A and B are shown apart, each in its own frame.
Chain A
């Protein structure tokens, strides 16, 4: 039995099944196993955390390539500014707004609209 599986499973919640992120309901550390529940409290998945993820923050439930949309509750909450692996912390360091990106970033929305 490896070290990770000996730890008690931590909690996370996913707002819609097809989402790319879940929300940590414990402070998570690398190597933690996290059980992911739906809003109806059904366990819908389990994964290993690769990052420190504070309570209430997001972790990726699937790998995301740079530039891909980040989906939470079925809606786009931003785009990945770098590739993100499963179990990684998803926050301001690796996603940006599609609508009001940092000024020096080439606007992805503008590119789309053109």
Chain B
């Protein structure tokens, strides 16, 4: 099967054609904003990466910054830096350049002053935008797609409806030669006995179990009750009582195919198929991690509750979310039906026995193909005055 996408020089395929402005450090966010203000259409990706991190966390940030620019949904990238950054703008730009897409950088150290950096950034961004505008969509195989997935505001209806529906979409993408990534290490606690049966080999099973056990031990060392963190108050209000109940429901998103490998946060899969990515269940971190890993489209399955009424969602996706990762939102709780207009796919009919998982799954798959071919998601179509500052995963400590 096919969709209409943008072919990139490295052979990957984008479903969006953005020129992104990537600050290499949070200190450069403001310059990126000034550049973006003068270049309508260019998309800044503000982030919280800063000094005071150890090398391990700087490495995670570097991979994320490069990965965001390398994501196939970015036609081109401008990196903006200070020049004293722990991860220099030049290094980020070099990393992105390995995809052979147009990329350049500006920073105060090289360009001499704040004013020069902004001015140079504007010139570069305008040129990149003109280049990107010349690209056209072409028919591309579904095998080029990488679907990322996450559930949020989960309740017991997510477990009955949303997540199995997303699982159908995952199986569809994999069956057509594509890739899919699920993450949220904490939300594998209590479910590894099921997932390890699907591991492609023993090493995948062992690595997955080790990641989950490391997270469990980190939680236990904190010596606080995990309740209200996992499951969170919204999950609990929605009827979920324990982390394993949440995990066992959440893994429905990952469908039924073999798990090919375990990725570090923001790491791009080397082959096709289904992958587990280590990382937090924090929605922002999941979105950035998936985008950095090269996912072009993301499924966000939501149960219901108060979060469903936030419209741009729980999750800091205001103003379209991370521009390079369109998010398709699915809603499952019939009690949240009045909010269904703010979701791309409503699957509450399953809970009420009016639709099967297979039928709703087909609707979600059709929506994914439409969005991949250019249809705007509900989140993309909501204009918002709020600009997100994206968080990067860190293990700590901050020093």
A residues touching B (Cβ–Cβ < 8 Å)?
13, 15, 23-25, 37, 39, 41, 54-58, 72-73, 75-78, 90-92, 95-100, 102-103
The A-B contact count (CB < 8 A) is: 87
Task: Write the chain A residue with the least CB distance to B237.
Answer: A54
B353 close to A77 (CB less than 8 A) = no
Q: Which of A57, A73, A97, A98 contacts B239 (CB 8 A)?
A: A57
A-B contact pairs, 18 of them (CB 8 A): A15-B159, A23-B160, A25-B352, A54-B237, A56-B303, A56-B333, A58-B156, A73-B159, A75-B244, A77-B241, A91-B239, A92-B236, A97-B190, A97-B242, A99-B190, A100-B226, A100-B230, A102-B225
B242 close to A77 (CB less than 8 A) = yes
A77 close to B248 (CB less than 8 A) = yes
Determine the chain B residues whose CB is within 8 A of the CB of A78 once the complex forms. 241-242, 244-245
Given contacts A97-B190, A99-B244, A102-B225, contact A56 B219 (CB under 8 A): no
Q: Given A56-B155, A75-B244, A97-B190, 9 other A-B contacts at CB below 8 A?
A: A13-B160, A25-B352, A37-B353, A56-B303, A73-B159, A77-B190, A77-B242, A102-B225, A103-B225
Determine the chain B residues whose CB is within 8 A of the CB of A102 once the complex forms. 225, 227
User: How many Å lie between the Cα of A75 and that of B252 in the bound state?
Assistant: 13
B220 close to A100 (CB less than 8 A) = yes
What distance in Å separates the Cβ of B351 from its nearest Cβ neighbour in chain A? Answer: 7
Query: Closest 6 CB pairs between A and B?
Result: A77-B245, A56-B239, A57-B239, A78-B242, A97-B242, A41-B353
User: How many Å lie between the Cα of A58 and that of B239 in the bound state?
Assistant: 7
Mostly helix, strand, loop or mixed at chain A's interface? loop
User: How many Å lie between the Cα of A58 and that of B245 in the bound state?
Assistant: 11
User: How many Å lie between the Cα of A18 and that of B352 in the bound state?
Assistant: 21
Assess whether B100 is interfacial by the CB under 8 Å rule: no
Task: Write the chain B residue with the least CB distance to A15.
Answer: B160
Contact with A along B212-247 (1 / 0, CB 8 A): 000010011001111100100000111101111100
Task: Write the chain B residue with the least CB distance to A94.
Answer: B241
Assess whether B157 is interfacial by the CB under 8 Å rule: yes
Assess whether B92 is interfacial by the CB under 8 Å rule: no
B241 close to A98 (CB less than 8 A) = no
What distance in Å separates the Cβ of A90 from its nearest Cβ neighbour in chain B? Answer: 7
User: How many Å lie between the Cα of A98 and that of B226 in the bound state?
Assistant: 12
Assess whether B189 is interfacial by the CB under 8 Å rule: yes
Q: Which of B238, B248, B351 contacts A75 (CB 8 A)?
A: B248
Task: Write the chain B residue with the least CB distance to A25.
Answer: B351
Task: Write the chain A residue with the least CB distance to B225.
Answer: A102
What distance in Å separates the Cβ of B85 from its nearest Cβ neighbour in chain A? Answer: 38
Determine the chain A residues whose CB is within 8 A of the CB of B242 once the complex forms. 77-78, 92, 95-98
A97 close to B243 (CB less than 8 A) = yes
Assess whether B335 is interfacial by the CB under 8 Å rule: yes
B190 close to A56 (CB less than 8 A) = no
Task: Write the chain A residue with the least CB distance to B155.
Answer: A56
A58 close to B241 (CB less than 8 A) = yes
Determine the chain A residues whose CB is within 8 A of the CB of B191 once the complex forms. 75
B225 close to A72 (CB less than 8 A) = no
What distance in Å separates the Cβ of B90 from its nearest Cβ neighbour in chain A? Answer: 44
User: How many Å lie between the Cα of A15 and that of B303 in the bound state?
Assistant: 17
User: How many Å lie between the Cα of A13 and that of B159 in the bound state?
Assistant: 12
Task: Write the chain A residue with the least CB distance to B354.
Answer: A41
User: How many Å lie between the Cα of A99 and that of B220 in the bound state?
Assistant: 10
Determine the chain B residues whose CB is within 8 A of the CB of A23 once the complex forms. 156, 160, 239
What distance in Å separates the Cβ of B232 from its nearest Cβ neighbour in chain A? Answer: 12
Determine the chain B residues whose CB is within 8 A of the CB of A58 once the complex forms. 156, 239, 241
User: How many Å lie between the Cα of A14 and that of B155 in the bound state?
Assistant: 15
User: How many Å lie between the Cα of A58 and that of B241 in the bound state?
Assistant: 9
B160 close to A39 (CB less than 8 A) = yes
User: How many Å lie between the Cα of A21 and that of B216 in the bound state?
Assistant: 26
B227 close to A73 (CB less than 8 A) = no
Contact with A along B240-266 (1 / 0, CB 8 A): 011111001000000000000000000
Determine the chain B residues whose CB is within 8 A of the CB of A15 once the complex forms. 159-160
A91 close to B223 (CB less than 8 A) = no
What distance in Å separates the Cβ of B233 from its nearest Cβ neighbour in chain A? Answer: 11
Task: Write the chain A residue with the least CB distance to B190.
Answer: A99
A97 close to B226 (CB less than 8 A) = yes
A103 close to B224 (CB less than 8 A) = yes
Q: Which of B223, B230, B236, B335 contacts A55 (CB 8 A)?
A: B335
Q: Which of A54, A91, A99 has the most CB of B within 10 A?
A: A99
Task: Write the chain B residue with the least CB distance to A95.
Answer: B241
User: How many Å lie between the Cα of A99 and that of B176 in the bound state?
Assistant: 36
Q: Which of A23, A57, A58, A97 has the most CB of B within 10 A?
A: A97
B244 close to A98 (CB less than 8 A) = yes
Task: Write the chain B residue with the least CB distance to A107.
Answer: B220
Determine the chain A residues whose CB is within 8 A of the CB of B156 once the complex forms. 23, 56-58
